[in-house]
């Protein structure tokens, strides 16, 4: 049964810095042409009618990943870069011009907005604990303690619990998802394995070793980590005390849980010794890179109906 942390959430001491930014890092902003910030006559936004003529930023150029036209939805898409550490609200200001195909007419979109997370300050309580409220994608969490300077942070990601020492001033993006990863599913099409996914989008790294407990995972099941597109066996060990798989790590990444052994998307088979083929397993230190959230989300968007049937429904 899932462990319940000792402290009641109602006792959590936290403060949310009122930022109310217009958009958050990593967001895709979609303009359909009905916004009042457009100038010039505008037809349906698609590549038959328009091409992106120019993009000029007065402020915040480094916040933008790309500007594209989505033909399916007929919108202009402004993709913001991910930033999993910033607690500052930043300004994005500039113009995007669309040129009408075969014409010298332009439609101009003026951008003047702010980008940033809601910053939630988490305090260390009298027992030295830091409890995290419900985690959402728009918030980033900052540890605040002027007395002892550190505490033990506890939070849950579905059926997975994390406990780790954190220090005053540290900042963490803790949002996670359970999106299916297409590369893993397609590499294991020929198996009837039941597969679950857990991805910590910001791959938070700590200055102390975290304890991760995977509840609801049976002793005869398998836990993998996805690193640089390859599956490696996690160093998680079965704990008889907690009846759960327990992992010691300094970085939270992308985990794949299965009732059967899996093949790696890169074509390298995994093994049962706790190390991945090729010897790149080093989960205790968290030194290896874990596949980024952007890749996981992009792959998940392509999952077919047949592949999704592999994913365990909780």
Rg (CA), the chain: 22
Per residue in 140-176, pLDDT tens? 999 999 888 999 999 999 999 999 999 999 999 999 9
**Arithmetic mean of pLDDT, 184-206:** 96
* List of residues 6+ apart from 25 with CB closer than 8 A: 63, 80, 81, 82, 83, 84, 86, 115, 116, 117
Instruction: Give the bridge partners for 144, in sequence order.
Output: 123
Reduce the DSSP state of residue 61 to 3 states and report it: helix
Phi, psi of 186 (to 5 degrees): -70, -30
* List of residues 6+ apart from 270 with CB closer than 8 A: 224, 231, 232, 233, 261, 262, 263, 264, 276, 277
Per residue in 261-293, pLDDT tens? 999 997 444 544 343 333 333 333 333 333 333
**Arithmetic mean of pLDDT, 232-260:** 97
Per residue in 13-48, pLDDT tens? 445 554 579 999 999 999 999 999 999 989 999 999
Instruction: Give me the sign of the Cα torsion angle 269, 271, 277, 282.
Output: positive
């Amino acid at each position: 049964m899932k462990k319940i942390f000792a402290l009641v959430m109602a006792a959590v001491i936290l403060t949310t810095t009122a930022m109310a930014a217009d958009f958050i890092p990593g967001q895709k902003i979609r303009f359909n042409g009905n916004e009042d910030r457009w100038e010039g006559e505008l037809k349906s936004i698609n590549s038959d009618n328009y091409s992106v003529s120019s993009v000029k930023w007065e402020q915040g150029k480094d916040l933008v990943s790309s500007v594209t036209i989505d033909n399916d939805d007929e919108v202009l898409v402004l993709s913001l870069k991910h930033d999993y550490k910033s607690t500052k609200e930043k300004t994005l200001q500039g113009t995007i011009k669309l040129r009408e195909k075969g014409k010298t007419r332009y439609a101009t979109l003026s951008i003047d907005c702010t980008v940033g997370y809601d910053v939630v300050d988490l305090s260390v309580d009298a027992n030295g604990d830091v409890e995290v409220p419900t985690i959402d994608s728009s918030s980033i969490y900052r540890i605040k303690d002027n007395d002892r300077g550190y505490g033990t942070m506890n939070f849950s990601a579905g059926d997975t619990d994390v406990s780790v020492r954190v220090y005053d001033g540290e900042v963490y993006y803790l949002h996670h998802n359970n999106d299916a990863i297409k590369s893993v599913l397609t590499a294991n099409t020929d198996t009837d394995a039941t597969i679950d996914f857990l991805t910590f989008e910001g791959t938070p790294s700590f200055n102390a070793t975290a304890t991760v407990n995977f509840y609801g995972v049976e002793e005869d099941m398998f836990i993998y980590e996805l690193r640089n597109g390859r599956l490696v066996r996690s160093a998680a060990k079965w704990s008889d005390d907690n009846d759960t798989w327990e992992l010691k790590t300094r970085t939270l990444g992308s985990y794949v849980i299965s009732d059967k052994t899996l093949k790696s998307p890169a074509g390298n088979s995994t093994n049962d010794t706790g190390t991945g083929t090729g010897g790149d397993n080093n989960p205790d230190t968290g030194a290896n890179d874990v596949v980024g959230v952007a890749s996981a989300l992009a792959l998940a968007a392509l999952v077919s109906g047949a592949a999704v049937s592999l994913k365990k429904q909780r």
